[in-house]
Amino acid sequence: MVRHFTELSDLGSEGLLRVLDAADRFQVQRGSPSHPRPLAGKSIALIFEKASTRTRLSLEVAVVELGGHPIVLSTEGSQLGRGEPIPDTARVLSRMVHAVTLRTFEHERLLELSRVSSVPVLNALTDQSHPMQLLADLQIIRRARSRLQDLSYAWIGDGNNMANSWIEAAGLLGLQLTLACPRGYEPDERELERARQRGARLKLVHDARQAAAGADVISTDVFTSMGQEREREARLQAFAGMCVTREVVAAAAPQAMVLHCLPAHRGEEIAADVLEGPQSHVWDQAEARLHTAKAALEWALMPDD
Ligand code: CP
Ligand code: NVA
């Protein structure tokens, strides 16, 4: 059976932890001659219908360091931009490459690709979720705190793709997560309910300090995601008071970790002195994209069970 990684739940709770173990191993092995090259002789298509720095870099470098050959395609530079249907594209990709990663807008586009593709499809961000980023976030938290459970997590900002993936992670791992979002920008109630049923302890509030109170990890993201540029002014107004400032961080547990998937807008969702401050882990978080990208590719292409 083909292994697609469209959501964190495709991994399952145990699979997720095994992927994080693999990422830790890849981190240690980096640069050593013993670094495994399981993708030797394999080509991986990396398709971007939206901009990217970290995801593009991490996936491309991951494929190369695993011994494979990455092929980057963009909407503009391929027939996707001229309207070639996803199912046609999927059938062609399946005959030429060994896996496909896709960054796109509607999540349904990713699902459509995965339904038709006979090679693994991995989610490199959609409007709905960003599971690869969560792998990196969880990897660095576990490395820093030696555990993921028994920590208190805060999400401050938009109820967006990143928030949805945090909610999903909370469900898979039984985490305690408080989300502070402005009214009208909360995550989808169905995502919250699904995660609660899986064991997440979730709280939804509308105040940044309330979410941060006692938190061990504070995460945030841009207020205006890719594709929402026309909403920027309205969003800036709606999100007033949601910036992760020093005062917000002071409400958290001592030495709380501050995360941001990047790119960051200093002074909007995060204060410059917090982003650059001693509790910020954003550069480790960015680096972890590489180790976890390798682990995700290995999970999809080299099933061990
Ligand atoms: N965090 C993240 O996915 O960054 P990019 O948009 O640069 O890929
Ligand atoms: N929520 C952001 C994440 C960027 C990595 C976006 O979708 O633009």
Residue 99, beta-bridge partner list: 44
User: What is the pLDDT confidence band of residue 223, given thresholds at 50, 70 and 90?
Assistant: very high
Q: What is the mean pLDDT of residues 81-108?
A: 98
Residues with CB under 6 A from ligand 1: 52-55, 125, 133, 261-262
Nearest Cα residue to 121 out of 18, 10, 19: 10
Q: What is the pLDDT of residues 23-75, one digit of tens each?
A: 999 999 999 999 999 999 999 999 999 999 999 999 999 999 999 999 999 99
132-283 topology per CATH = Rossmann fold (3.40.50)
* Helix intervals (H) in the chain: 12-29, 54-65, 86-96, 107-116, 131-145, 161-173, 189-198, 208-212, 232-238, 246-250, 272-275, 282-301
Q: What is the pLDDT of residues 134-181, one digit of tens each?
A: 999 999 999 999 999 999 999 999 999 999 999 999 999 999 999 999
User: CB-hemisphere CA count at 13 Å for 110?
Assistant: 28
Indicate the domain borders of the chain: 8-129+286-301, 132-283
Atom of ligand 2 nearest to the CA of 158: 1
Greatest Cα pair distance, the chain, in angstroms, is: 54
How many angstroms separate the alpha carbon of residue 85 from the centre of ligand 1?
A: 26
User: What is the pLDDT confidence band of residue 305, given thresholds at 50, 70 and 90?
Assistant: low
Task: Tell me if 238 sits within 8 A of 250, measured CB to CB.
Answer: no
Q: Does residue 263 have a cis peptide bond before it, meaning omega lies within 30 degrees of 0? A: yes
- Ligand 2: residue of 135, 161, 219 to mutate (most ligand atoms within 8 A of CB) is 161
CB atoms within 10 A of CB 209: 18
From the number of C-beta atoms within 10 Å of its C-beta (0-12, 13-18, 19+), residue 149 rates as: exposed
Q: Is the C-alpha dihedral spanning 298, 301, 303, 304 positive or negative?
A: negative
Domains 8-129+286-301 and 132-283 share a fold: yes
CATH classification code of 8-129+286-301: 3.40.50.1370
How many angstroms separate the alpha carbon of residue 305 from the centre of ligand 1?
A: 31
- What's the rounded Cα separation, in Å, for the pair 104 and 165? 16
Question: What are the structure tokens assigned to 199, written together?
Answer: 């064991």
Atom of ligand 2 nearest to the CA of 54: 5
Catalytic residues: 103, 130, 133, 221, 261, 289
